[in-house]
Every structure is written in C-alpha cells, then in structure tokens.
Structure 1
C-alpha cells in the first residue's frame, strides 16, 4: 500500500532530521544519558521507517497481516520513539512507562509480518 511507503519515507526523513538535531542542537544542552535516549529513539524510528517501507512493498502479496503490521509499526514509532524524544528533552521519567507499549507494538508488527509472509 502506497500509504505505508509514504509513512516510512516521512519517518525516515524525520529520523535523519532529529538525529542531526540531537547531534548538533542538543549536545551540551542535555546530559549524556538523555542524549543516548535520544539516539535510541532515532535508531528505532529509522529501523521501523524501513520496516514500513518494506510492509508497503509486501502488502500486495498478503493484504491483511501486512496492513495490520503497518499500523502497529506506525503506532510503535509514535509510542516508543515519541516517548523517548519527550523524555530526553523534558526529563519527565514517567514517560519511560509509555516506551514499552511502543516496544510491544513493534513486536506485534513483526509477528504480523512473519504471519503475512508465512501465508504466501
């Protein structure tokens, strides 16, 4: 589905932009610990941006599991990376409780990819 390729490309763009911002704009402004948190958010966003592009390409092979995988992956980016970005700049540690929800969404997305490919 073209939508997931577009969402993947947009998230890849955002990941690169936020990675550069973290490296150049946040250095010296937040602690090394939170800079590491920011970098983790960027990495996982990029991994799953690539995953969204793959899902968009594979969706023609097996529609339903890949559609679910795409939406789970997109939601995972919002919950996982989004909570880490906010945590890194705000220091609000309760946001760390949201991050695992994103991780579970990522795991569920990859399970749906496995199911979708296995059904071909």
Structure 2
C-alpha cells in the first residue's frame, strides 16, 4: 500500500512539475536546465508506475518492500535534487550541496532495479 501511495503521489507530482517546467519556467531555464528538469520528471514518472505495479503485484513479498523503499528514497534524492539544482540556479542561488545527492539517489534506484532483476531471475 505504501508503494502505491508513493507511486500515485510521484505520478501526480511528475505531471504537475512537468507542466510547470515546460510552461512557467521555460523562460527562466537555460536549455541544459530544462533538459535536466525533464530528466528528473521522467525518472520520477517511470518509478511512479513501477511502484504502483510492485505495490499491487507483490504486497506480501519482503524483498519487494525493500525494492519499493529503495525506489522511493531514490526518486526523492535523484529527482528532487535535480529540481532543487535547476530552480536554485535559475533564480541565481545555486544550491551546490544538492549536486552530490543526485548520484546517491541514482545509486538507490540502481540497487532497487538490481534487486528486482535478482528476484525475477531467482524464480
């Protein structure tokens, strides 16, 4: 259930942030910032869909709870640090401390996908 709640919330926010980035921030962002912001939205949406699927199909499998947590934390660290970097840079005060957080979030996502692959292959 937690995976589905986060999946739905991440999906909702991805649509809102995607529209916000494409329209309201279009004149404020550089091309690179726009592309980075879109990457954050895209990865967030991918994982929203996966979380909903995992939450529905594997409610009682402990490994899938771990995978869900890795995806949730990974999205928060990866996508939201990208949003913070892009927004802070666009408004003249780049929050550089967020830079190292992005790859850490990516690592959580990679570990989640590796565990998912392991689970599928072990059946």
Q: TM-score, normalised on structure 1? A: 0.90
> What whole-Å deviation, never above 9, does each CA across 1:39-72 have from its counterpart, x for those lacking one?
1100010011111112112324x61110000000
2:47 maps to 48
Q: Structure 1: give runs of 5+ residues left out of the alignment.
A: none
Q: Per-residue deviation at 1:118?
A: 3.4
CA contact (8 A) 1:65 1:115 kept: no
Q: TM-score, normalised on structure 2? A: 0.88
Q: Structure 2: give runs of 5+ residues left out of the alignment.
A: none
Asked if residue 107 in structure 1 is aligned to residue 110 in structure 2, the reply is yes
Q: What SS does the corresponding residue of 1:76 show, helix, strand or coil?
A: helix
> What whole-Å deviation, never above 9, does each CA across 1:85-104 have from its counterpart, x for those lacking one?
00001122442211000110
Moved more, 103-112 or 67-76: 103-112
> What whole-Å deviation, never above 9, does each CA across 1:1-34 have from its counterpart, x for those lacking one?
x221121011001000000000111011121211
Q: Could you tell me which of 57, 74, 77 is aligned with 1:76?
A: 74
* Aligned residues: CA RMSD: 1.4
